[in-house]
Amino acid sequence: MLKLDRYLLSELAQSTFATLVVLLVVSVGGVITDVLKDIASGRLPAGLMLSQLGLVLLSWLPLILPLALMLGMMLGIGRLYRDSEMPVIHAMGVGPLRLLRPVMALVVPVVVIVALCSLWLGPTAERVSRQMINEANRNLVISGLSPGSFTEIPGGGGVVYVGSMSGDGTRFQRIFIHRQKEGRLDITTANTGSLSVADDGERYLTLDNGFQVEGPVDGGGKDYRLMRYASNDVRLPAGKERYDPNDPRTMSTLELLGDPRRASIAQLHGRLAPPLLTLAFALLAVPLARSTPRQARFGGAMMGFFSYLIGMNLMQVGQGWLASGRIPPALGLWWLILPLLAAGVWMYVKDGAIAMPRLRLRKGAAS
């Protein structure tokens, strides 16, 4: 039976890996779109694109891996049924309960990986991502301003020219800013200045000893104003959420265990749910993949996909209910996890119980 176990494990692992690759390609497209949108709006420095892409994908793995495992197992087992290999395996006396060994050989490592990503790697990636953005917002070089060239302010806020810049990218000299808003032209110049970040995360170019000219864009009329200032703050497009060490989304799992806040409790249960749901979906995959030669090829896969969507959406909704206090903290997300696990175990055992009478019937007919 060891050869059979290795064969089944190889088939399931190959189909799961292929499904994971497809899902990652699709996810990368969505992540790139979101990252480019943030860069275009000025919320994210362009220099952090690749690093943010990797960190976001890492935080998405607890949502991608369960679906890849479920669909991969269903496609692999479905192929065995279509090629009449599974009926031969059943005829040898190997039922679904006996298949638990190769199935768990694949499921357990994936559940462990999902647990690591959900409990440790995902929160770490979120924390590192926000720290990098927070630090980049204080650096003019990373923010996209280069000395000696005209640079468009992200989000269409205008054009900036910086003559020279300090080595750490926080101070500059000889700056020129051209902006247009509501039919008015605004030109601001300054000898020196610096980049500052307010407590609310807003970024400002603090200009020293300069002039500001304001007037109509079309040049008609004499409605111009000239102002000389000692200090002037020019707001840049708002960055992404600033890093807050007390934000439950960036706190470690051990820190969440001792935090009584509702948001922290919701975040803790949201991290515990993915590995357990992965196990439940994997158990559901085997009975859902059972098919006859004339049965629709992807009918079971669609059922599995919709069950995944419903389960993950309920997990997100449950987190919101926990954070808002609509359900008690002691209930957590167990109202979702335990029924799904019970349904997976029941369907798996029931699937094995259906095959045994048929096997005994064939044995009786042969005698």
pLDDT tens-place string over residues 241-262: 566 778 888 888 888 888 889 9
- Measured distance CA(70)–CA(49) in Å, rounded: 31
Identify the H or E element spanning 228: strand 225-235
For residue 342, what pLDDT band results from cuts at 50, 70 and 90?
very high
Q: Are 228 and 211 in contact (CB under 8 A)?
A: yes
Is pLDDT above 80 for 336?
yes
Antiparallel, parallel or unpaired: β 158-165 and 184-197: unpaired
How many domains, the chain? 2
For residue 165, what pLDDT band results from cuts at 50, 70 and 90?
confident
Is residue 254 domain-shared with residue 221, that is, in the same domain? no
Is pLDDT above 80 for 136?
no
- Measured distance CA(10)–CA(110) in Å, rounded: 15
Amino acid at 254: L
**Full residue range of the structural domain in which residue 275 is found:** 2-136+245-366
For residue 300, what pLDDT band results from cuts at 50, 70 and 90?
confident
- Structure confidence at residue 17 (pLDDT): 94
The token duo for 203 is: 């970024």
Is residue 208 domain-shared with residue 262, that is, in the same domain? no
Task: Report the chain's mean pLDDT, rounded to a whole number.
Answer: 80
Is residue 251 domain-shared with residue 360, that is, in the same domain? yes
Q: What angle do CA 112, 7, 361 make, to 5 degrees?
A: 105
Q: Are 68 and 23 in contact (CB under 8 A)?
A: yes
User: Residue range 254-275: average pLDDT?
Assistant: 91
Amino acid at 244: D
- Structure confidence at residue 279 (pLDDT): 93
- Measured distance CA(236)–CA(251) in Å, rounded: 29
- The answer to the question of residue 142 being in a domain is no
- Structure confidence at residue 296 (pLDDT): 62
Is residue 193 domain-shared with residue 122, that is, in the same domain? no
More confident of the two residues 57 and 1: 57
- Structure confidence at residue 366 (pLDDT): 45
User: Residue range 167-171: average pLDDT?
Assistant: 72
- Structure confidence at residue 219 (pLDDT): 63
- Measured distance CA(346)–CA(351) in Å, rounded: 8
Indicate the burial class of 78 (C-beta count within 10 angstroms; 0-12, 13-18, 19 or more): buried
- Structure confidence at residue 1 (pLDDT): 54
- Measured distance CA(250)–CA(244) in Å, rounded: 8
User: Residue range 170-190: average pLDDT?
Assistant: 82
Q: Which of 211, 235, 259 is the last residue of a domain?
A: 235
- The answer to the question of residue 240 being in a domain is no
- Measured distance CA(95)–CA(87) in Å, rounded: 10
CATH of the domain at 211: 2.30.30
Task: Choose among 341, 352, 347: nearest CA to 111.
Answer: 341
- Structure confidence at residue 70 (pLDDT): 92
- Structure confidence at residue 66 (pLDDT): 94
Q: Which of 235, 268, 294 is the last residue of a domain?
A: 235
- Quote the crossing angle between the two packed helices 2-40 and 49-82, to the nearest 10°: 150
Eight-state DSSP code of residue 95: -
For residue 157, what pLDDT band results from cuts at 50, 70 and 90?
low
Q: Which of 235, 259, 284 is the last residue of a domain?
A: 235
- The answer to the question of residue 263 being in a domain is yes
